Amino acid sequence: MMRWIVLIGLVVSLVFLQRALWFTASSLPKGRYLESRLQVQMAANRRLQRANAHHWAEVRSLKRGLGAIEEHARMDLGLVKRGETFYQIVRVPAPRTAPESPRTVAAPAAGG
């Protein structure tokens, strides 16, 4: 009899521990999900850190000299120095040709 009580107690303990392992907030599936989310977030953080480094380099360049400011004004704002001539080349798209329609042949006039 004592043996059955111990056996039932062990089975209940095992079921209780398995429930905690698979179905609670700190379960194995939840841990795997969080690990995958962590990897995705770390990749996004690395991309953002590279972008931030690029932006900080641009800010330092703008603070140091007029060359970067002038380049920014020319490229992004379209500004021109005094005495310079601005040429804008506009490419005209090639005209589209309409598909050929079937030629109609005029019928000879009747009556004659």
- Domains of the chain by residue range: 2-77
What letter represents residue 49's amino acid? Q
Tokens describing residue 38: 């962590």
d(CA 22, CA 39): 22
* pTM attached to this predicted model: 0.45
68, 62 Cβ separation under 8 angstroms: yes
Q: pLDDT at residue 64 above 80?
A: yes
**pLDDT top residue among 97 and 39:** 39
Q: Give me the chain's average pLDDT, please.
A: 83
> What integer pLDDT is reported at residue 102 of this predicted model?
63
Indicate the pLDDT class of residue 88, thresholds 50, 70 and 90. confident
| pLDDT above 80 for 9 | yes
Distance of alpha carbon 40 from alpha carbon 37, whole angstroms: 5
